[in-house]
């Protein structure tokens, strides 16, 4: 039987049926947060504690309707690493000449910062580098990793775009250019 409890500002329901392994090992969490200059959001997550499954899904939704949106920012200093990013599962993050984070079934929503986004992309490029047998792909991956590291240290610039047809995402900064998608 599922057990529901309130933990601080978070609602937790344990013992739900996992959609993948069909065991009653799924924990659902929901929390409301207020993101300054953006508004209130709900953060949802599902985690299966079955060690053979380990299913995880997370997302964010705004309380207020924002409509389809596109945010563009030029990252040009180490201080920019602290800029808040709200990314829903329906959002696409693009970093020209580096890579992207695409929406889809496996996509998660989360609240992070520019550094968190760059670290996620860097981790994926490292996996590609380590799994590739093509010397040219390995060299490209190493160059992208170097670029991302230089950007995080404030030694190089890059442009980042977040597009969300559902309007549940944002880059929260005075530097950002916001447009309708």
Q: Where are the domains of the chain?
A: 3-62, 69-180
Residue 51, token pair as written in the block: 């060690």
Q: Phi-psi bin for 67: left (phi > 0), alpha (psi -120 to 50), beta?
A: left
How far apart, in whole angstroms, are the C-alpha atoms of residue 57 and residue 37?
26
Instruction: Quote the pLDDT of residue 10.
Output: 81
Residue burial 3-35, b: 16+ Cβ < 10 Å; e: rest: eeeeeeeeebebebebeeeeeebbbbbebeeee
Instruction: Quote the pLDDT of residue 162.
Output: 97
Q: Tens digit of pLDDT per residue, the chain (181 long)?
A: 555 555 457 899 999 999 999 999 999 999 998 887 788 889 999 999 999 999 999 999 888 888 899 999 999 999 999 999 999 999 999 999 999 999 988 889 999 999 999 999 999 999 999 999 999 999 999 999 999 999 999 999 999 999 999 999 999 999 999 998 8
Instruction: Quote the pLDDT of residue 4.
Output: 54
How far apart, in whole angstroms, are the C-alpha atoms of residue 157 and residue 75?
5
Instruction: Quote the pLDDT of residue 65.
Output: 80
**What is the CATH code of the structural domain delimited by 69-180?**
2.60.120.1040
Contacts of 28 (CB under 8 A, 6+ apart): 12, 13, 14, 16, 44, 45, 46
Angle CA(87)–CA(148)–CA(129) in degrees, nearest 5?
A: 100
Residue 125, token pair as written in the block: 């490029």
Angle CA(176)–CA(103)–CA(164) in degrees, nearest 5?
A: 35
pTM of this prediction? 0.83
Instruction: Quote the pLDDT of residue 8.
Output: 53
> 17 phi and psi, to 5 degrees?
-80, 125
């Amino acid at each position: 039987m599922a057990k529901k409890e309130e933990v601080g500002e978070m609602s937790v329901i344990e013992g739900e049926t996992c959609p993948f392994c069909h065991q009653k090992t799924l924990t659902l969490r929901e929390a409301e947060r207020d993101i300054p200059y953006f508004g209130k959001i709900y953060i949802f997550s599902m985690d299966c504690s079955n060690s053979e499954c380990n299913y995880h899904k997370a997302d964010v939704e705004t309380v207020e309707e924002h409509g389809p949106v596109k945010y563009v920012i030029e990252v040009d200093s180490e201080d920019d690493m602290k800029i808040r990013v709200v990314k829903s599962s329906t959002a696409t993050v693009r970093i020209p000449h580096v890579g992207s984070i695409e929406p889809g079934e496996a996509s998660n929503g989360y609240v992070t910062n520019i550094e968190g986004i760059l670290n996620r992309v860097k981790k994926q490029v490292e996996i590609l580098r380590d799994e590739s047998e093509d010397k040219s792909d390995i060299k490209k991956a190493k160059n992208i990793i170097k670029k991302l590291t230089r950007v995080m240290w404030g030694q190089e610039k890059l442009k980042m775009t977040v597009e969300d047809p559902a309007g549940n995402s944002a880059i929260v900064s005075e530097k950002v250019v916001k447009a309708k998608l």
